[in-house]
């Protein structure tokens, strides 16, 4: 029994990160019909921003754990929100109205630029880097279940952030504008919604959430590397598709469902850790074939 | 117009005379290593150490008026790029030798290409035995370090018969290098300790960061050692997550993990990690040659450390220099001549004085067992020259 609770907690931790990345994918798709593969690299970039912040903090003598961690989150999310806005302005805005395929290819290219830039310009960027994580080994036992404070903190932060997104989407004017744009951009425009601002905000929010996931990833796994964004990008995208691209609740559901599914495969299938991705992508293919609008999405007649 | 013609003639004469002096016997050594990507820390260290040996050879004049020039080929750890570089090396008539690969996958992908062009190769790293004769027929391939069959024999011998671990769980990262390692380790461990000594095996996917669900599954089996075939990043994550989940056992690994970088990114969790590696600490090499290499490397001011494979790369450079020097004394420096020297010569290198046997394997086999203590790899045991037995190293 203990093992299953432990596995559930493992799933919740991974699921939190998947969800935060997936929400970004889904928001971009919602407002722009863009599958933004640069998003995984923004996630990686955030981890490096946080790493730089922690190095600077240590260098100037700030070693108080919580203070450094809060600074890491703030700077990483701020920088990446700005980066997201910048990418939208210089890479995606000029292509607005073009076929979605062009946007997709652009996003791949932008992703490569970010990844290689970190590799080349961060000191010893090609090497894995140790990440500042002061509480990584502060664990406690409940029965046979081992919990770390970092893990609890991460699950809490991801739930809070996801809840904030939920409030933002359902309760604010901005959220309503985003949903309207997502459903029908032209109609929203006619109703006086500033679509440009909506898209810009979507990039700020999505990138900041991805950034939070990046910092969490560093804190939990204690090391970061320039090529960590790709796998996370694919996983986040998969989570978003499982829940239905464009549907924020779907992304939340998809993130946790994907993590739980992965954990179950590893736990139940002999040598499952080797075939985990095979199972995951089989599910992805099945969903794309049979329910392209996702498990939570309502089937649509027209897209774009 | 006349002055233009004159100028042209003068220019042509100048270029030709200049070219003649430059062409005074320059040959190329082609380096095919991961100089970018995930394993570039190893590749760069090897390149620098190899370059140091070649530069010293050029400066010493042992090769007469022959000069060796390096071609820097970056395979990024990718077999396809490695193969295309191998072809490039083979088709360049100036290339008389190749220092290749680091990964086993690239070693496997390229040996037949090198053989087709008859260009002599020294493998740096590429620990999988299948990269070496007699497991293939490519007669141009030589090694500067023992392969996994030897390495894993000593690793498993240590784990089962010396350290007396009773419940070993093995994990590999699904690469050619790691699966063969774990196969061999398992075989020897079972032979020495009975079938029950290996309690299970799983594979992981490189690039993945979360192994908690796998380790949660392993924990109730109560392993007393996790043997990990793979590389630094994943080993480090597995080690950290073992501790977080309260798995009270050391991790043991090999050449893919034995590196300062592992300790740097794993932090305190690295303490107690074990590794078997085909290299010794610098002060253990004969006649102070290791210490001298260390000093020379520092003096050359490279911007990266030589890493764990640097000393063997340096030895490979020394071998090429000596082979070319010997070939030059007997006549013309060609691929065939260098190959002949590699087959028959005795080489005085950092690792010791050695010859290559009929399969291109050096006849000096250093394997050492290391453990992380106080944030550094400390040698515990080392083998004799033939790697028949393990001897305890008394630290000074």
User: Given a cut of 90, is residue B185 above it in pLDDT?
Assistant: yes
Please write the tens of the pLDDT for every residue from B379-394. Answer: 999 988 888 888 888 7
Q: B16 falls in which pLDDT band (50, 70, 90)?
A: low
Residue B55 token pair: 């530069």
The average pLDDT across A257-265 equals 92
Contact A126 B37 (CB under 8 A): yes
Residues B95 and B153 in one domain: no
CA distances to A73, A177, B200 from A163, in Å: 17, 18, 42
Cβ separation of B213 and A230 shorter than 8 Å? no
Same domain, B102 and B186: no
Q: How confident is the model at residue B90 (pLDDT cuts 50, 70, 90)?
A: very high
Domain covering A2-290 assigned CATH 1.10.3470 in the classification: yes
Task: Indicate whether B187 pLDDT > 90.
Answer: yes
**Of B306, B280, B148, B284, nearest in space to B227 by CA:** B148
Give the integer Cα–Cα distance in Å for B294 and B292: 5
Q: Do B36 and A228 touch (CB under 8 A)?
A: no
A137 contacts in chain B (CB < 8 Å): 243-244, 268-269
Q: What is the pLDDT of residue A302?
A: 47
Inter-chain touch A7–B216, beta carbons under 8 Å: yes
Domain locations in chain A as residue ranges? 2-290
B215 and B156 together in one domain:
yes
Q: Does B331 touch chain A (CB under 8 A)?
A: no
Same domain, yes or no: B60 and B196: no
Least confident of A220-224, A284-288, B12-16, B75-79: B12-16
- Confidence at residue B77, expressed as pLDDT on a 0 to 100 scale: 87
Structure confidence at residue A185 (pLDDT): 83
- B209 contact residues in A (CB cutoff 8 A): 217, 221, 228, 231
- Residue of B175, B208, B210 to mutate, interface with A, max A Cβ within 10 Å: B210
Instruction: Check whether residue B230 and residue B307 sit in a common domain.
Output: no
pLDDT at residue B71 in the model: 95
Query: Considering chain A, what percentage of its residues have pLDDT values greater than 90?
Result: 38
Q: How far is B67 from chain A (nearest CA, A)?
A: 32
Query: Least CA distance to B238: which residue of chain A?
Result: A221
For chain B, give the percent of residues with pLDDT over 70.
93
Give the nearest chain B residue to A264 (CA atoms).
B213
Name the token pair of A38: 């640069």
B254 in the same domain as B167: yes
- Contacts of residue B256 in chain A, CB cutoff 8 Å? none
Q: What is the dihedral of CA B371, B372, B378, B379, to 10 degrees?
A: 20
- The answer on pLDDT for A209 being more than 80 is yes
Token pair in block for residue B84: 């295309």
Same domain for B167 and B309, yes or no, is no
Q: Are A271 and B37 a contacting pair at CB < 8 A?
A: no
Quote the mean pLDDT of chain A.
88
Q: Which residue among A10, A141, A273 sits closest to B204, beta carbon to beta carbon?
A: A273
With contact defined as beta carbons under 8 Å apart, do A165 and A24 qualify? no
Percent of chain A with pLDDT over 70: 97
User: Encoding tokens for residue A40?
Assistant: 């995984």
Question: What is the rounded distance in angstroms from the CA atom of residue A283 to the CA atom of residue B389?
Answer: 51
- Looking at the structure, do residues B111 and B220 belong to the same domain, yes or no? no
Q: What is the Cα–Cα distance from B15 to B124, expressed in whole angstroms?
A: 39
Strand pairing partners for B170? B201, B227
Coil, strand or helix: which one is B197? Answer: helix
User: Pick from B25, B23, B18: which is nearest to B65 by CA?
Assistant: B25
B240/A7 CB distance under 8 A: no
CATH (domain of B97) = 3.40.50.2300
Q: What pLDDT score does A304 carry?
A: 43
- Domain assignment present for residue B1? The answer is no
Question: In this predicted structure, what is the pLDDT of residue A186?
Answer: 85
Please list every residue in chain A whose beta carbon sits closer than 8 Å to the beta carbon of residue B36.
119, 126
Rounded Cα distance between A285 and B151, Å, is 42
Q: d(Cα B277, Cα B77) in Å, to the nearest integer?
A: 20
Q: How many CB pairs under 8 A join A and B?
A: 101
Q: For A125-182, how does the pLDDT look when each residue is reduced to its tens digit (9 = 90+)?
A: 777 888 988 887 888 888 778 888 888 888 899 999 988 988 888 899 888 898 888 8
- Residue-wise pLDDT for A13-61, tens only, equals 999 999 999 999 998 988 888 889 999 999 999 999 999 999 999 888 8
Question: Going by C-beta distance under 8 Å and a sequence separation of 6 or more, which residues neighbour residue B368?
Answer: B276, B277, B278, B279, B280, B281, B284, B379, B380, B381, B382, B383, B393
Length of chain A: 304
Q: Does B344 touch chain A (CB under 8 A)?
A: no
Query: What's the confidence (pLDDT) of residue B92?
Result: 94
B371 DSSP β-pair partners:
B274, B378
Regarding beta strands A139-142 and A145-148, do their DSSP bridges make them parallel or antiparallel, or are they unpaired?
antiparallel
| pLDDT of B17 higher than 60 | no
Same domain for B289 and B272: no
| Whether pLDDT at B172 is above 50 | yes
Q: Is the pLDDT of residue B14 over 80?
A: no
Considering its fold, how many domains does chain B have in total?
2
CB contact under 8 A, A266 and B37: no
Q: How much is the average pLDDT of A269-280?
A: 84
Kindly state whether B385 is in contact with chain A, defined as any CB-CB distance less than 8 angstroms. no
Which pLDDT score is estimated for A45? Answer: 95
Residues in chain A within 8 Å Cβ distance of B269: 137
> How far apart, in whole angstroms, are the C-alpha atoms of residue A71 and residue A297?
37
Note the pLDDT of residue A303: 47
Contact A271 B201 (CB under 8 A): yes
Higher pLDDT, B60 or A135: B60
Distance from CA of A247 to the nearest CA of B (A): 27
CA gap B382, B105 in Å, rounded: 28
Q: How confident is the model at residue B109 (pLDDT cuts 50, 70, 90)?
A: very high
Whether the CB-CB separation of A75 and A53 falls below 8 Å is answered with yes
Question: How far apart are alpha carbons B326 and B334 in whole angstroms?
Answer: 12
CB contact under 8 A, A126 and B246: no
Q: Tell me, yes or no, whether B107 lies in a domain.
A: yes
- The answer to whether B366 touches B280, Cβ cutoff 8 Å, is yes
Q: How far is B263 from B46, CA to CA, in rounded Å?
A: 19
Is B64 at the interface with chain A, CB within 8 A? no
- pLDDT for A287 equals 87
Element (H, E) at B255: none
Task: Report pLDDT digits (tens) over B276-324.
Answer: 998 888 988 988 999 999 999 999 998 888 888 999 999 999 999 999 9
Shared domain for B83 and B63, answered yes or no, is yes
Which residues span the domain enclosing B17? 9-145+283-355
For the cut 70, the answer to whether the pLDDT of residue B395 exceeds it is no
Set of chain B residues whose Cβ sits within 8 Å of the Cβ of A3 = 216-217, 219-220
Pure H helices in chain B: 2-22, 40-60, 79-91, 104-117, 148-157, 176-193, 212-218, 232-244, 260-266, 289-299, 310-330, 335-344
Instruction: Report pLDDT digits (tens) over A170-195.
Output: 899 888 898 888 888 888 888 888 88
């Amino acid at each position: 029994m203990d093992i299953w609770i432990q596995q559930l907690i493992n799933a919740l931790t991974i699921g939190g990160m998947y969800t935060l990345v997936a929400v970004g994918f889904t928001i971009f798709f919602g407002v722009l019909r863009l599958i933004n593969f640069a998003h995984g690299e923004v996630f990686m970039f955030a981890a490096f921003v946080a790493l730089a912040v922690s190095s600077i903090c240590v260098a100037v003598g700030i070693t108080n754990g919580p203070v450094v961690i809060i600074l890491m989150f703030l700077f990483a999310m701020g920088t990446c929100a700005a980066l997201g806005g910048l990418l939208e302005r210089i890479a995606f805005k000029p292509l607005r109205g073009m076929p979605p395929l062009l946007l997709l290819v652009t996003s791949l290219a932008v992703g490569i630029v970010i990844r290689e830039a970190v590799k080349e310009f961060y000191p010893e960027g090609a090497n894995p880097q140790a990440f500042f994580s002061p509480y990584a080994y502060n664990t406690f036992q409940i029965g046979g279940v081992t919990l770390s404070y970092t893990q609890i903190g991460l699950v809490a932060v991801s739930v809070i952030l996801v809840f904030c997104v939920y409030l933002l989407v359902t309760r604010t004017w901005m959220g309503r504008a985003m949903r309207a744009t997502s459903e029908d951009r032209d109609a929203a425009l006619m109703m006086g919604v500033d679509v440009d601002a909506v898209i810009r905000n979507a990039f700020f929010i999505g990138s900041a959430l991805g950034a939070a996931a990046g910092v969490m990833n560093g804190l939990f796994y204690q090391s970061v590397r320039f090529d960590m964004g790709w796998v996370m990008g694919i996983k986040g995208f998969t989570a978003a598709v499982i829940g239905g691209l464009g549907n924020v609740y779907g992304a939340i559901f998809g993130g946790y469902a994907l993590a739980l599914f992965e954990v179950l495969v590893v736990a139940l299938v002999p040598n499952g850790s080797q075939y985990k991705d095979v199972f995951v992508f089989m599910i992805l293919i099945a969903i794309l074939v049979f329910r392209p609008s996702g498990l939570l999405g309502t089937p649509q007649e027209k897209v774009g | 117009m006349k002055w233009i013609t004159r100028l042209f003639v003068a220019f042509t004469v100048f270029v030709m005379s200049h070219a003649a002096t430059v062409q005074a016997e320059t040959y190329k050594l082609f380096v095919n290593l991961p100089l970018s990507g995930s394993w570039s820390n190893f590749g760069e260290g090897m390149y620098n150490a190899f370059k140091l040996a070649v530069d010293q050879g050029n400066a010493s004049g042992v090769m007469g008026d022959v000069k060796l020039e390096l071609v820097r080929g970056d395979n990024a750890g990718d077999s396809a790029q490695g193969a295309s570089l191998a072809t490039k090396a083979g088709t360049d008539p100036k290339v008389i030798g190749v220092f290749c690969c680091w990964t086993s996958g690239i070693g496997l992908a390229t040996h037949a290409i090198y053989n087709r062009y008859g260009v002599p190769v020294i493998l740096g790293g590429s620990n999988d035995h299948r990269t070496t004769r007699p497991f293939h027929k490519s007669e141009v391939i030589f090694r500067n370090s023992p392969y996994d069959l030897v390495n894993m024999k000593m690793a498993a011998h240590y784990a089962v018969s010396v350290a007396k671990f009773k419940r070993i769980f093995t994990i590999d990262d699904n690469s050619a290098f790691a699966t063969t390692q774990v196969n061999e380790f398992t075989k020897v461990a079972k032979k020495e300790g009975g079938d029950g000594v290996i309690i299970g095996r799983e594979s992981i996917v490189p690039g993945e960061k979360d192994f908690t669900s796998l380790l949660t599954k392993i924990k109730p089996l109560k392993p007393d050692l996790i043997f990990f075939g793979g590389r630094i990043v994943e080993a480090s994550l597995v080690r950290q997550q073992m501790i977080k989940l309260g798995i009270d056992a050391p991790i043991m690994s090999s050449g893919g993990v034995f590196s300062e970088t592992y300790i740097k990114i794993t932090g305190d969790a690295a303490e107690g990690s074990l590794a078997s590696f085909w290299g010794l600490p610098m002060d253990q090499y004969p006649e102070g040659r290791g210490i001298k290499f260390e000093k020379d490397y520092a003096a050359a001011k490279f911007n990266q450390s030589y890493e764990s494979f640097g000393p063997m790369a340096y030895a490979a450079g020394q071998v090429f220099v000596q082979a070319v020097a010997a070939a030059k004394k007997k006549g013309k420096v060609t691929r065939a001549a260098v190959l002949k020297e590699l087959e028959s010569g005795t080489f005085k290198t950092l690792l010791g004085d050695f010859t290559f046997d009929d399969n291109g394997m050096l006849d000096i086999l250093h394997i050492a067992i290391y453990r992380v203590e106080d944030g550094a790899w400390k040698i515990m045991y080392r083998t004799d020259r033939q790697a028949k037995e393990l001897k305890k190293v008394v630290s000074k």
